[in-house]
Chains A and B, each alone.
Chain A
Amino acid sequence: MSQLKRTPLYPVYKDEAKLVPFGGWEMPVQFSGIKAEHERVRTRAGLFDVSHMGEVEVTGPDALALLQQLMTNDVSTLESGRIQYTAMCYPDGGTVDDLLVYKRSDERYLLVINAANIEKDVEWIRKHATGNVRVTNVSDETALLALQGPQAETILQKLTETDLASIKPFHFQEEVRLGDVRGLVSRTGYTGEDGFEIYLPAEDAPVLWKRILEAGEEEGVAPCGLGARDTLRFEARLALYGNELSASITPVEAGLGFAVKPGKGDFIGREVLAKQKEEGPPRKLVGLEMIGRGIPRSHYPVYVGEEEVGEITSGTQSPTLKKNMGLALLQSEHAQLGNEVDVDIRGKRIPAKIVKTPFYQRSKQ
């Protein structure tokens, strides 16, 4: 087994966090506890080290053409300073990865990809690169902090003169001075709350981590691990690659049809995805609430009567709802809201019903 990678923040929190292997990285799964951290992000603010995520620069006169060929979303509609969520697919519609595209200028884009997929994605992108375009993997020298929660803006504003209220959701600003360091500040996240993601040089990350925790003491900011990140994104129904998306699951099946634009022209996977959007996909991602006692977990089979109709992709006890919930990929004919199904929980069939997603949605002001 190869050595686990560590982020530049590892030395800062190694003694206070519980560390686990995740996608080839040694990452903090929790600091004080998953439920407490989850609650903190929903009510105040949480700070996450997500430096394991990958960053790839795509630049040059043919950058847009390459991205249009690779991405399911229409990158040509993206304006400078804005961010687009998209998928990247195989010819059969299966998903290579889901990612964010940052447009810096007409010939400069930044892609933010999943940690476990970095090598695969970079290889895939380079394989399709033609003409005058450069693909640079800057993951190792880039750190990423996520400050999430209703108090995120108040806290981060203390460190900068840039008006953060002017950075709207899915917008970003580069070279923002935050105390002694500079970074790209993006109004994005993976928790279902308001918040920011800050990209900065790896060596500056420890300083900013400490500054944010100090600045947010009054507002109750807490360091949070990947455990809470997972329960937060789960409640907000944000897909996790490897669970809701994979090489054998299309973005349309995963309910991400909004990021698939067959009308934009040719791209990899278009034929299959266009058909699925038009006729409906063979499987659909649904939310489940357990009726019987038990917690659904990833890969547990789901039955209607004696017929296996799909499986759980993610499941846990929702810390906000205090209910046992799951996301499941089911054959479309069984995916209607309100239907009852059985989840095979370690050999026992436990009833559940299909409910609306997301399980949690923050109230907008």
Chain B
Amino acid sequence: MNLPKELKYSEEHEWVKQEGDNKVRIGITDFAQDELGDIVFVELPEEGDELEYNTPFGSVESVKTVSELYAPVSGKVLEVNSELDESPENVNDSPYEDGWMIVVEMSDPSQLDNLMDADKYESMVSE
């Protein structure tokens, strides 16, 4: 399982990468994409939408199931990876690079403290 050390992780299997004081990039973990299997559809919010911590902001669908995406932080959506419309399999092939989902401007950066580091996330999912 690939879990980059520089990222933070949520209990709902999102990764969060800090890219500035208030800016984070968000996607789902290698563990999550593997559990879902072949991803065929990703539904994301639009630029400018407001996200609320721990509430659904979109969904990922594999051939078999639907899985909701939960906001790991509150804030405003700055960018959306529209390439996933045409190439949802990028989430399987490259969950931390091409498979990124949104960039968010955080309204409360202290929410990052609720997230796990790679070691803690790994022990959570291997239980």
A294 to chain B: which residues have CB within 8 Å? 41, 43
Q: Which residue of B lies closest to A348 (CB)?
A: B43
B43 to chain A: which residues have CB within 8 Å? 293-294
- In Å, the complex CA distance between A294 and B88 comes to 13
B56 → A minimal CB distance (Å): 9
Answer whether residue A324 sits at the interface, using C-beta atoms and an 8 A cutoff: yes
- In Å, the complex CA distance between A227 and B43 comes to 22
Answer whether residue A33 sits at the interface, using C-beta atoms and an 8 A cutoff: yes
Contact B38 A316 (CB under 8 A): no
Contact B37 A317 (CB under 8 A): no
A29 to chain B: which residues have CB within 8 Å? 37, 64
Q: Mark B39-50, 1 if CB is under 8 A from A, else 0.
A: 011010000000
Answer whether residue A250 sits at the interface, using C-beta atoms and an 8 A cutoff: no
Those of A198-238 within 8 Å (CB) of chain B: 227, 230-231
| Interface size classification for chain A | 10 to 19
- In Å, the complex CA distance between A18 and B40 comes to 19
A242 to chain B: which residues have CB within 8 Å? none
Contact of A33 among B38, B41, B61 (CB under 8 A): B38
Contact B41 A34 (CB under 8 A): no
A134 → B minimal CB distance (Å): 40
- In Å, the complex CA distance between A297 and B62 comes to 11
Contact A319 B59 (CB under 8 A): no
Answer whether residue A346 sits at the interface, using C-beta atoms and an 8 A cutoff: yes
Contact B63 A34 (CB under 8 A): yes
A33 to chain B: which residues have CB within 8 Å? 37-38
- Contacts A33-B37, A34-B38, A317-B40: A346 and B59 contacting too (C-beta < 8 A)? yes
Tell me how many residues of B have a C-beta within 8 Å of chain A: 11
Those of A252-270 within 8 Å (CB) of chain B: none
Contact A30 B41 (CB under 8 A): no
Answer whether residue A182 sits at the interface, using C-beta atoms and an 8 A cutoff: no
Q: Which residue of A lies closest to B88 (CB)?
A: A317
Answer whether residue A35 sits at the interface, using C-beta atoms and an 8 A cutoff: yes
B38 to chain A: which residues have CB within 8 Å? 33-36
Contact of B40 among A30, A227, A230, A295 (CB under 8 A): A295
- In Å, the complex CA distance between A186 and B75 comes to 60
Contact of A35 among B41, B59, B61, B63 (CB under 8 A): B63
Q: Mark A292-323, 1 if CB is under 8 A from B, else 0.
A: 01110100000000000000000011010000
B66 to chain A: which residues have CB within 8 Å? 295, 297, 346
Q: Mark A338-362, 1 if CB is under 8 A from B, else 0.
A: 0000000010000000000000000
B40 → A minimal CB distance (Å): 4
Q: Which residue of B lies closest to A227 (CB)?
A: B64
Give the A-binding residues of B (Cβ under 8 A). Answer: 37-38, 40-41, 43, 59, 61-64, 66
20 A–B contacts from the bound complex (CB under 8 Å): A18-B37, A29-B37, A29-B64, A30-B37, A33-B37, A33-B38, A34-B62, A34-B64, A227-B37, A227-B64, A293-B41, A294-B43, A295-B41, A295-B61, A297-B66, A316-B40, A317-B41, A317-B63, A324-B41, A346-B66
